[in-house]
Amino acid sequence: MVGVRLRALAPVPAMDALRIAFVADTFDEAVSGGTRSAVRFVGALRSQHDVVVLATGGRDEPDRLVLPGFQLPLQAMR
């Protein structure tokens, strides 16, 4: 874009920490790439935000809530 003058952007104010609930069925047992990525992602979020993990199984911790798993009562298709 020749001849276009760019305006200076207004400074962005510092963002307050967010409270984030990360919900996953599997979180502790890093058996798959998705689970490992979730653990790393939560770690990165925690560097600037307040993150609580809601998961089935695993152990209760101050920043994690363990919920019982459930299956929807659906008949399997044949």
In a domain, 24, yes or no: yes
pTM of the model: 0.67
- The span from the CA of 53 to the CA of 42, in Å, is 8
Domain that residue 34 falls in: 19-67
In a domain, 61, yes or no: yes
Q: What pLDDT digit, counting tens, does each position of 43-70 carry?
A: 999 998 999 999 987 777 889 999 888 8
Single-letter code of the amino acid located at 28: D
Give the number of domains in the chain: 1
Q: What pLDDT digit, counting tens, does each position of 6-22 carry?
A: 666 666 567 788 999 99
In a domain, 73, yes or no: no
Please answer whether residues 67 and 54 qualify as being in contact, where contact means their C-beta atoms are separated by less than 8 angstroms.
Answer: yes
Residue 24's SS3 state is: strand
In a domain, 23, yes or no: yes
